[in-house]
Amino acid sequence: EKASSNKIRKVAIAKGMVPLRKNALAKVLRGETSLEEFARVTGGL
């Protein structure tokens, strides 16, 4: 059985995966990276 990408994402998050945008935004808020780098890596604001 093939799982949809949405289901795989939900299971991964439930098991502790932190989505890229959420992780990158946390780094911006902690001063570890810039908002510009966040936008570049995640594809925008």
Q: Please list the rounded mean pLDDT of every run of 10 residues in the chain (45 residues).
A: 89 96 95 95 85
Can you tell me the distance from the alpha carbon of 29 to that of 42, in angstroms, rounded to the nearest whole number? 15
Going from N- to C-terminal start, the domains of the chain cover: 18-45
- Beta carbons within 10 angstroms of residue 14's beta carbon: 8
pLDDT of residue 3: 84
Q: What is the pLDDT of residue 8?
A: 94
Classify 31 in phi/psi space as left (phi over 0), alpha (psi -120 to 50) or beta. Answer: left
| pTM for this entry | 0.71
- pLDDT for the residue numbered 1: 74
